[in-house]
Amino acid sequence: MTRFALTLEFDGTPFVGLQRQATGPSVQQAVEEAAERVTGEAVTLHSAGRTDTGVHALAMRSHLDIAKPIAAFRLMEALNAHLRAAPIAVTHCEAVADDWHARFSCTGRSYLYRIANRRAPPVLDANRVWHVARPLDAEAMHRAAQALVGLHDFTTFRSVQCQAASPVKTLDRLDVERAKTLWGEEVHIHADARSFLHHQVRSMVGCLALVGMGRWPVEQVGQALAAGDRAALGLNAPPHGLYFVAATYP
């Protein structure tokens, strides 16, 4: 039995999320079915993080165990051939130690949130950015974001469906910057932590956007955090602007 670590890139638009669910197609289901067609084995895909409906990934780290002798490069090529109809690609594949685990060995996760900040709606990037036509003050958003960095009780920014044992997390980074792209002005929010609560990044982004629009003062983000109450949340950003960027391992 060989454990293979995969790096997945995917467009989350047609999926109910990364994790297999009974309510619709998932990234996990698509990769597992492709692997079974390649090897003839029923396999289980384990991943560094979970993503909601419509959330994308640039480099999701995952793993699966395969008994059939097969080279990592050949496995990657075969999986991509069977995934051709789905917006999923295996960008890297390697054999790893049996005790390496995509989720439990992971010591850090990084997300990017993209806001298209222009009057015209995005066409080429539809379903890949959150369109906010009103001008955003990215500097004010960044100042407000710093109140969330560090060890905190993130109950306000936690989904009511969150199954984490504790709302206490350490947010290592929350930076906001304005970026020029081929499609115009964007505001990018970068979030790093060992782990995140369900909807935490989207909830933080939504409140920061309120600051950027001038609807919230900078101080209100910290006040919402201190409230420890989901009712203090101002806005939950939509999923399609969110990207899982990287997983960190020792």
- pLDDT computed for residue 183 by the predictor: 79
- According to the model, what pLDDT value does residue 157 have? 96
Give residue-wise pLDDT tens across range 23-79: 899 999 999 999 999 999 999 999 999 899 999 999 999 999 999 999 999 999 999
User: What are the residue boundaries of the structural domains of the chain, listed by start?
Assistant: 2-96, 109-248
Residue 52 is a catalytic residue: yes
Tally of residues, the chain:
250
Residue 161 — pLDDT band, cuts 50, 70, 90? Answer: confident
- 217 CB neighbour count, 10 Å cutoff: 12
| Mean of pLDDT values over 238-243 | 97
The pLDDT, as a whole number, for residue 164 is 82
pLDDT at position 22 is 84
Region 2-25: mean pLDDT is 95
Q: Which residues pair with 247 in a beta bridge?
A: 109
Q: Are 241 and 115 in contact (CB under 8 A)?
A: yes
- Helix count (H) and strand count (E) of the chain? 5, 10
Q: Write down the pTM of the prediction.
A: 0.95
Mean pLDDT over the full length of the chain = 96
CA distance 86 to 105: 28
pLDDT in tens, 217-232: 999 999 999 999 999 9
For residue 17, give the nearest of 64, 43, 55, 49 by alpha carbon: 55
In this model, does residue 92 exceed pLDDT 80?
yes
Confidence of residue 150 (pLDDT cuts 50, 70, 90): very high
What's the confidence (pLDDT) of residue 89?
Answer: 98
110-129: pLDDT as tens digits: 999 999 999 999 999 999 99
Q: From CA 96, how far away is CA 113, in angstroms rounded?
A: 31
The yes-or-no answer to whether 2-96 and 109-248 have a common fold is: yes
Higher pLDDT, 12 or 161: 12
Confidence bin at 94 (pLDDT 50/70/90): very high
CATH architecture, domain 109-248: 2-Layer Sandwich (3.30)
pLDDT band at 165, cuts 50/70/90? confident
CATH of range 2-96; options 2.40.110.10, 3.30.70.580, 1.10.3720.10, 3.30.930.10: 3.30.70.580
Q: Would you state the pLDDT for residue 184?
A: 81
In this predicted structure, which of 3-7, 19-23, 30-34, 130-134 has the lowest mean pLDDT?
19-23
- Residues 52, 125, 137, 192: which is the catalytic one? 52
Given a cut of 80, is residue 163 above it in pLDDT? no
Long-range contacts of 150-153, Cβ-Cβ distance < 8 Å, separation of 24 or more = 152/225, 153/225, 153/228
pLDDT at residue 181, rounded to an integer:
86
* Angle, CA 16 vertex, CA 10 and CA 18 arms, to 5°: 45
